[in-house]
Amino acid sequence: MATPIRNRLRLSPDFDDLIARTGVSKRQFASDSGVDYSTIKALANPDQHPYRKGGMHAHTAWKLARQYAALAQVDDDTAYARLIIEEALAEVAA
């Protein structure tokens, strides 16, 4: 029996540009979203943080999406689609 396919959540390659277009810095965005700036920096630059495994938790992704939605004046689902990429992880046989 195989385990279900899971998704890895990561930031869109356009994340920095999307946040810049809102008129706030990434540091301010982090503070307002309730996500540590160091977490956002690590998620935006995964090659610089090889010790981190995988992407982010769904809770973190939605915090970022809700804050972006408020700034960009879009709904939460649109914000999520712009900021977050879901990558299916390979199915693992049990």
pTM of this structure: 0.83
* Amino acid 87: pLDDT: 84
Burial of 72 (0-12, 13-18, 19+ CB in 10 A): middle
pLDDT digits (tens, 9 = 90+) for 39-75: 999 898 877 766 766 678 999 999 999 999 999 999 9
Q: Is residue 1 pLDDT above 70, yes or no?
A: no
H/E run at residue 26: helix 26-33
CA 63 – CA 65 distance, rounded (Å) = 6
Q: In terms of CATH architecture, what is 7-88?
A: Orthogonal Bundle (1.10)
* Amino acid 45: pLDDT: 84
Provide the pLDDT confidence category of residue 8 given band limits of 50, 70 and 90: confident
Q: Confirm if 71 and 26 have CB atoms less than 8 A apart.
A: no
Q: Is residue 92 pLDDT above 50, yes or no?
A: no
21: left (phi over 0), alpha (psi -120 to 50) or beta: alpha
pLDDT digits (tens, 9 = 90+) for 24-34: 999 999 999 99
Alpha-carbon dihedral angle through residues 73, 76, 79, 80, given to the nearest 10 degrees: 170
